């Protein structure tokens, strides 16, 4: 899907069968959108065969029956503009997903979680 340009150490070239319809990760409509979003954005939770790993998260603590958990963010993670990545950013994204006006395909799995997202 992609390769590094051997003449440069800061470039990755990716080839897809089409153009993405959106770069907003809340509104993917095609598989190209999904694959491009996977390259551009880190997910808070990623399940891998070797367990959970994530460049944003230091550790996860499962609570109660495993349906609740605490996410401990890694220190020093920053956005492209140099601003720190914080729990408020996670709350903003989940709140946007839960807003009925957003109409994102990712909202359905989160239905019923309103009011249970808390920053510590």
How confident is the model over 36-78, as pLDDT tens digits? Answer: 888 888 877 766 555 656 788 888 888 877 777 788 899 999 9
Evaluate whether residue 65 is within a structural domain.
no
The pTM (predicted TM-score) of the whole model is: 0.65
Predicted local distance difference test score (pLDDT) of residue 106 = 73
Evaluate whether residue 94 is within a structural domain.
no
Residues 23-51 as b or e (16 or more Cβ within 10 Å = b)? eebeebeeeebebbbeeeeeeeeeeeeee
For residues 45 and 40, give the distance between their C-alpha atoms in angstroms, rounded to a whole number: 15
Predicted local distance difference test score (pLDDT) of residue 1 = 45
Specify the number of domains making up the chain.
1
Evaluate whether residue 15 is within a structural domain.
yes
Domain that holds residue 2: 1-41
Evaluate whether residue 61 is within a structural domain.
no
Question: Which has more confidence, 110 or 49?
Answer: 110
Evaluate whether residue 34 is within a structural domain.
yes
Evaluate whether residue 119 is within a structural domain.
no
Evaluate whether residue 37 is within a structural domain.
yes
Question: Which has more confidence, 3 or 46?
Answer: 46
């Amino acid at each position: 899907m992609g390769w590094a340009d051997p003449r440069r150490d800061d470039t990755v070239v990716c080839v897809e069968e089409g153009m993405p319809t959106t770069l907003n990760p809340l509104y993917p409509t095609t598989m190209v959108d999904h694959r491009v979003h996977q390259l551009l954005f880190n997910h808070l939770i990623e399940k891998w065969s070797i367990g959970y790993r994530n460049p944003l998260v230091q550790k996860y603590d499962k609570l109660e029956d495993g349906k609740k958990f605490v996410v401990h963010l890694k220190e020093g993670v920053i956005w492209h503009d140099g601003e720190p990545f914080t729990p408020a950013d996670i709350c903003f994204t989940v709140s946007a997903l839960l807003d009925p006006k957003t109409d994102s395909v990712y909202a359905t799995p989160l239905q019923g979680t309103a009011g249970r997202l808390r920053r510590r």
